[in-house]
């Protein structure tokens, strides 16, 4: 299986508050992220990590976390990932390789991986997919016009590595739920103000 995840930010205590993560302590965050990863990923699986593994920490501490994680790992460099550390992890065999941008095949589908959300990517008009991180829970403008662009930050994925099929299905389910909520709100607003529903639709 092929899995994706981004922006774990190990050793970043303040990320719990900044991203409203459901953890009380840094230790709890580490334990749950590692447990979730290893409950899903086997050593025969491939994981594409889309950047920002850890944050302003002793590199040996980040290495000790990485050693605990299952899978064949490829890294996309994030703004908090140091090239020297990534090279050392490759030399030690803890990751296969690292890239700034990578194009892969996932069950015959073209997937473009980058830490940052791209406005345009290779084969985007021919059905390719783009996975990114960096923005955590924030929304990228014009997301609805680029249906094949997906946020793979751990906050969006429920702190678990996920397959491309899972990422697509869950994003579609979220959008459908929001559309239903919007329809309910529009009907209620039309009723309260006694205006045609068509005036409120867009």
What is the distance between the alpha carbons of residues 97 and 99, in angstroms, rounded to a whole number?
7
Closest to 148 measured CA to CA, from 170, 130, 166: 130
DSSP, collapsed to helix, strand or coil, labels residue 1 as coil
- The pLDDT mean for the chain works out to 90
Note the pTM of the prediction, 2 decimals. Answer: 0.85
Yes or no: say if 73 and 47 are a contact pair by the CB < 8 Å rule. yes
DSSP, collapsed to helix, strand or coil, labels residue 110 as strand
Confidence of residue 139 (pLDDT cuts 50, 70, 90): low
* pLDDT tens string 8-43: 999 999 999 999 999 999 999 999 999 999 999 999
Yes or no: say if 116 and 153 are a contact pair by the CB < 8 Å rule. no
**Cα-based angle 182, 187, 189 (whole degrees, multiple of 5):** 90
Confidence of residue 198 (pLDDT cuts 50, 70, 90): low
> Is the per-residue pLDDT at 174 higher than 90?
no
Write the DSSP string, 17-51: HHTT-S-SSHHHHHHHHHHHHHHH--TTSEEEE-S
Q: Can you read off the two tokens belonging to residue 151?
A: 């946020």
């Amino acid at each position: 299986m092929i899995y994706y995840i981004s922006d774990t930010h190990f050793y970043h205590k303040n990320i719990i508050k900044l991203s409203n993560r459901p953890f009380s302590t840094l230790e709890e965050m580490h334990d749950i992220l590692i447990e979730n990863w290893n409950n899903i990923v086997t050593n025969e699986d491939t994981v594409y990590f889309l950047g920002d593994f850890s944050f302003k920490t002793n590199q040996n501490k980040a290495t000790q976390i990485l050693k605990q994680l299952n899978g064949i790992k490829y890294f996309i460099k994030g703004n908090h990932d140091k090239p020297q550390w990534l090279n050392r992890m490759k030399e030690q065999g803890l990751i296969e390789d690292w890239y700034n941008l990578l194009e892969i095949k996932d069950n015959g589908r073209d997937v473009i991986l980058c830490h940052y959300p791209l406005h345009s990517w290779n084969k985007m008009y021919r059905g390719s997919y783009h996975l990114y991180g960096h923005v955590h829970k924030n929304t990228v403008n014009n997301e609805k016009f680029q249906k094949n662009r997906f946020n793979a930050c751990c906050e969006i994925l429920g702190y678990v590595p996920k397959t491309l099929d899972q990422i697509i299905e869950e994003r579609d389910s979220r959008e459908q739920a929001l559309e239903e909520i919007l329809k309910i709100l529009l009907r209620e607003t039309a009723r309260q103000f006694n205006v045609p529903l068509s005036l409120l639709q867009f």
